């Protein structure tokens, strides 16, 4: 069991090490990477099945008993996040085979990519705050390297801003971990749930909560801490952006959810109030930024921010339905967002630019790509019966249950504006004729490249479609995950081995 | 830097520093020291060499690219953590091999902790040198 | 002992933030280094500063005979120092590279990724 829980980060690390000596041979290196991702995906699915049938699993690294050693925990939320990371990793590594040029592979692209996956999976599965910090750093170093790999002028410029702001977040996180340790004497998350509730110092606990919101808020790109995201996400190759967009900010949201359901006592209400305000502002500013831009990837980058608002909203409302909505939304969003970025990459390949004014004619040239874009984009905007509709429905229903009508209003306005900018891309890039009549069709590119570009996109679009048409299983799963989050008794029992009677406020 | 004194002294010093770094690596088992600090000391030897004889000389003295060294170090460290697989214990458990004597009276033991530390040593040496050589590259 | 050390942490963070507000990227990096040290010191203080024996248990004993220092914060700080070292070295390399390629360290002039939009022509 303990080996199985360690595999989600061991596999990518070993794949990274295997791909490193092979980096001079582009094809071999790419296949190692894809193979590693396939292995990772299989492992995560096994973990998901085990968790679903047998409940929360925990493993102690090095046989050091919790709360003294490092604990790995897989509950429903962790398990589904691991699976979705596996899916994104697999699709993006497949896409990277044709999108990443030889000189970037030679610099070690695939190794850094796998290291990034190791960091992401490690963050999802760890049950220890300091270990979480370490995985964040693994993820951060790998993302720094991926962002500036190749060293174009624009990449360096974007990379500086990304590095600068993310280092601040790192230091805030480290400081808040130090404060947590000072207050409670432990960093095991399950133990913290018990210890922090016993701390009789509301001022210090509140200060700590705010520090955590800032530290993880920068990672998650919530208002007003998101400025590194639109400054950097459009600069690297689109493969890199796709995996960043799919996973990095979501890790921030995941840790926010963990922190404010597991670590902090649920009686502490004001963090949720702060998060509610920031969530609404994040939704609005993100979508307004997207409406103002005319570059394919910049529009998508601003949409990441706006979607983060929805995820945080689920946490802020803090009801079982809202948290389930956040989980469902996260899954839907990771799939749709990654897919949109991959499509933008292929669109650039066919038309030669990301600027909407300089491209067009994609609908006529490649109806298949247009179909996939249509699914992903309108799912993001919340069109029934695609997956985004159910995600938004859950959140809107949760806000209506709490009579938070202004939340509903903001969510609907955001939805309409999302639709506006998605139809802007649709009209400009797909329907309009290409200004220079340059648009290639999918038939014009080599056959293997066509498959490498289209298979991941088709797979992700299929997931979106299936989630939209048969949302029942995932909604049930999300509700179960939300129930675990709000009543962490099982989690604590799995980690510490004690059976505490959990008395929550709900 | 073209200084005869520095260049002559460097020949002796580099060897001494490298030996000292290995001493620090092994000493780290029971006393202050260890793979990280030893790796930094070893890197400083190459930096000294580079100051005296130039970057190219230091790079060719190292024989293999430092990034490969770093990857190899991480590989050794990862393997040492997975040795527990053979004894059926949890990942990263300490594994001890009794070479002489028995467990209670001391004697010589080998452990995967030492292998991990050697991995850290190589990883730090490689990573630091990669960065330093990259900093010195003409833009 | 915690009081003065807490004060030192405060001063380090204040100085670091002041430096980070500068436009020059190198000043920013120096500020970051100071805050990184402040964070490590904060963890150290959080583990309580006491005068005690090193956390080593003599051979043949199960528990230490006298009060021992808390080893955990030191292990945490060591990890944080190593990670911080890596991050800062990377940041320094990145800044050097940016200076070579972009020719400036002034962040206000780094607008390649986010170009200033051209001014709209005034319609009369």
Interface pTM, i.e. ipTM: 0.89
CA-to-CA separations, C105 to A157, A229, A234, in angstroms, rounded: 11, 21, 22
C47 CB neighbours in chain A (<8 A) are: 181-182
Residue pointed to by tokens 């997207």: A290
CB A142 within 8 A of CB A116: yes
Measured between CA atoms, how close is A73 to chain B, in angstroms? Answer: 14
Q: CB within 8 A of A132, min separation 6: which ones?
A: A123, A126, A255
Is the Cβ–Cβ distance between A187 and A130 less than 8 Å? yes
Q: Residue A164: inside a domain, yes or no? A: yes
pLDDT at A306: 92
Q: Peptide bond preceding A385: is omega within 30 degrees of 0, i.e. cis?
A: yes
What confidence tier does C121 reach under pLDDT thresholds 50, 70, 90? low
Q: Is residue A457 part of a domain?
A: yes
- pLDDT tens, residue by residue, A265-293: 877 888 888 999 999 999 999 999 998 88
Minimum distance, in Å, between the CA of residue B41 and any CA atom of chain C: 14
Which residues of chain A, if any, have pLDDT below 70? 1, 498-506
Q: Enumerate domains of chain C plus CATH numbers.
A: 2-52+70-109 (1.10.287.3510)
- What is the per-residue burial (b if ≥16 Cβ within 10 Å, else e) of B58-95? bbeebeeebbebbbbbbbbbbebbbbbeeeebbbbbeb
Tokens of C122: 């005034």
A57 in a domain, yes or no?
no
Pick out chain B residues at pLDDT < 70.
Answer: 1, 103-106, 137-139
Contact A63 B78 (CB under 8 A): no
Higher model confidence: residue C68 or residue B50? B50
- Residue A176: CB partners within 8 Å, gap ≥ 6? A208, A211, A212, A215
Separation of CA A431 from chain center = 30
**DSSP sequence for B74-104:** HHHHHHHHHTHHHHT--TT---EEE-SS-SS
Residues 6+ apart with CB under 8 A from A353: A359
User: Which of these, C88, C104, C105, lies nearest to C26 by C-alpha position?
Assistant: C105
Q: Which chains does chain C touch, 3 or more C-beta pairs < 8 A?
A: A, B
pLDDT for position B104:
67
Q: Are A101 and A7 in contact (CB under 8 A)?
A: no
Q: If we measure between CA atoms, which residue out of A348, A349, A250, A367 comes closest to residue A307?
A: A250
Query: Which backbone phi and psi does A225 adopt, to 5 degrees?
Result: -110, 20
- Find the CB nearest A153 among C47, C79, C102: C102
Nearest to C42 among A158, A159, A175 (CB): A175
- Structural domain span for residue A374: 149-495
List CB contacts of A175: < 8 A, sequence separation 6 or more: A211, C38, C39, C42
Q: Does the beta carbon of A412 lie under 8 angstroms from any beta carbon of chain C?
A: no
Interface A-B, measured as beta-carbon pairs within 8 A, has a size of 36
Q: Which of C82, C92, C100 sits opposite B139 (nearest CB)?
A: C100
Is residue A72 situated within a structural domain? no
Closest CA to A128 of A65, A85, A80, A79: A65
Nearest CB among C78, C89, C100 relative to B131 is that of C89
* Residue A285 forms part of a structural domain: yes
DSSP B137: S
Question: What pLDDT is stored for residue A504 in this prediction?
Answer: 40
What angle (nearest 5°) sits at the alpha carbon of residue B26, between those of residues B23 and B29?
140
Distance from CA of B133 to the nearest CA of C (A): 10
Q: Where do the DSSP E strands lie in chain B?
A: 96-98, 109-111
User: Which residue is listed with tokens 């330093």?
Assistant: B132
Q: Is residue A68 within a helix (H) or strand (E), and if so which, with residue range?
A: none
Q: Is A153 on the interface with C (CB under 8 A)?
A: yes
A interface mutation test: which of C10, C114, C115 has the most A CBs within 10 A?
A: C114
Residue A78 resides in a domain = no
* Interface membership of A182 toward C (CB under 8 Å): yes
- What local confidence, expressed as pLDDT, does residue A502 receive? 45
Give residue C122's pLDDT band: very low, low, confident or very high (50, 70, 90): low
- Kindly report the nearest CA distance between residue C124 and chain A, in angstroms: 24
Minimum distance, in Å, between the CA of residue B131 and any CA atom of chain C: 7
Instruction: Give the residue among A222, A247, A266, A162 at the shortest CA–CA distance from A487.
Output: A266
How many structural domains comprise chain A? 1
């Amino acid at each position: 069991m303990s080996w199985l829980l360690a595999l989600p980060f061991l596999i990518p690390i070993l794949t990274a090490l295997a791909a490193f000596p092979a980096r001079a041979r582009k094809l071999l290196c790419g296949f190692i990477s894809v193979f590693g991702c396939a292995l990772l995906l299989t492992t995560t699915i096994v973990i998901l099945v085990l968790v679903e049938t047998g409940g929360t699993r925990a493993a102690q690294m090095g046989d050091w008993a919790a709360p003294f050693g490092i604990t790995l925990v897989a509950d429903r939320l962790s398990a589904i996040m691991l699976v979705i990371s596996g899916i994104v990793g697999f699709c993006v590594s497949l896409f990277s085979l044709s999108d990443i040029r030889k000189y970037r592979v030679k610099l070690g692209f695939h190794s850094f990519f796998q290291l990034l996956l190791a960091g992401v999976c490690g963050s999802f599965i760890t049950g220890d705050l300091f270990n979480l910090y370490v995985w964040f750093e693994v993820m951060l170093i790998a993302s720094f390297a991926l962002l500036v790999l190749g060293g174009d002028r624009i990449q360096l410029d974007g990379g500086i801003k990304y590095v600068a702001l993310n280092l601040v977040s790192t230091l805030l996180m480290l400081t808040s971990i130090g404060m947590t340790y000072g207050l409670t004497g432990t960093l095991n998350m399950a133990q913290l749930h018990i210890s922090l509730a016993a701390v009789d110092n509301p001022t210090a606990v509140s200060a700590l909560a705010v520090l955590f919101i800032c530290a993880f808020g920068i990672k998650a790109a919530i208002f007003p801490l998101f400025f590194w995201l639109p400054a950097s996400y459009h600069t690297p190759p689109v493969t890199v952006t796709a995996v960043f967009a799919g996973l990095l900010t979501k890790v921030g949201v995941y840790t926010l959810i963990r922190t404010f359901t597991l670590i902090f006592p649920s009686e502490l209400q004001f963090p949720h109030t702060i998060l509610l305000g920031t969530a609404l502002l994040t939704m609005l500013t993100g979508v307004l930024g997207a409406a103002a831009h005319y570059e394919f990837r910049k529009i998508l980058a601003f949409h990441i921010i706006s979607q983060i608002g929805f995820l945080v909203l689920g946490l802020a409302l803090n009801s079982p339905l809202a948290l389930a909505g956040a989980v469902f939304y996260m899954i839907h969003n990771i799939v749709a967002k990654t897919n949109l970025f991959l499509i933008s990459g292929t669109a650039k390949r066919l038309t030669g630019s990301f600027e909407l004014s300089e491209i067009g004619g994609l609908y006529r040239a490649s109806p298949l790509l247009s179909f996939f874009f249509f699914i992903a984009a309108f799912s993001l905007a919340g069109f029934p019966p695609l997956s985004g509709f159910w995600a938004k429905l859950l959140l809107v229903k949760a806000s209506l249950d709490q009579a938070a009508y202004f939340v509903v209003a903001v969510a609907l306005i955001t939805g309409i504006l999302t639709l506006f900018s998605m139809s802007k891309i649709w009209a400009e890039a797909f329907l309009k004729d290409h200004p220079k009549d340059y648009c290639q069709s999918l038939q014009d590119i080599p056959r293997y490249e066509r498959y490498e570009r289209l298979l991941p996109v088709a797979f992700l679009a299929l997931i979106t479609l299936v989630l939209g048409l048969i949302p029942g299983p995932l909604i049930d799963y999300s509700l179960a995950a939300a129930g675990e989050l709000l009543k962490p008794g099982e989690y604590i029992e799995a980690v510490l081995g004690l059976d505490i009677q959990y008395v929550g406020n709900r | 830097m073209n200084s005869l004194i520095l260049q002559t002294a460097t020949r002796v010093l580099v060897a001494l520093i490298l030996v000292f770094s290995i001493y620090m690596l092994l000493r780290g088992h029971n006393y202050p020291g260890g793979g990280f600090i030893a790796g930094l000391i070893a890197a400083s030897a190459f930096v000294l060499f580079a100051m005296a004889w130039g970057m190219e000389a230091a790079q060719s003295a190292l024989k293999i690219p430092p990034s490969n060294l770093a990857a190899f170090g991480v590989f050794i460290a990862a393997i040492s953590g997975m040795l527990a697989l053979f004894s059926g214990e949890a990942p990263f458990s300490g594994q001890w091999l009794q070479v002489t004597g028995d467990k209670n009276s001391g004697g010589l033991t080998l452990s995967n902790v030492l292998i991990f530390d050697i991995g850290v040593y190589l990883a730090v040496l490689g990573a630091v040198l990669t960065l330093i050589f990259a900093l010195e590259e003409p833009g | 002992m915690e009081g003065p050390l807490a004060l030192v942490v405060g001063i380090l963070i204040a100085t670091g933030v002041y430096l980070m507000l500068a436009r020059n990227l190198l000043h920013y990096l120096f500020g970051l280094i100071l805050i990184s040290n402040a964070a490590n010191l904060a963890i150290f203080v959080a583990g309580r500063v006491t005068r005690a024996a090193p956390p080593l248990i003599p051979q043949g004993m199960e528990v230490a005979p006298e009060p021992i220092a808390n080893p955990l914060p030191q292990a945490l700080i060591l990890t944080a120092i190593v990670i911080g070292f890596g991050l800062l070295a990377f940041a320094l390399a990145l800044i050097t590279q940016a200076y070579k390629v972009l020719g400036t360290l002034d962040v206000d002039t780094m607008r390649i990724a986010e170009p200033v939009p051209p001014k709209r022509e005034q319609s009369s």
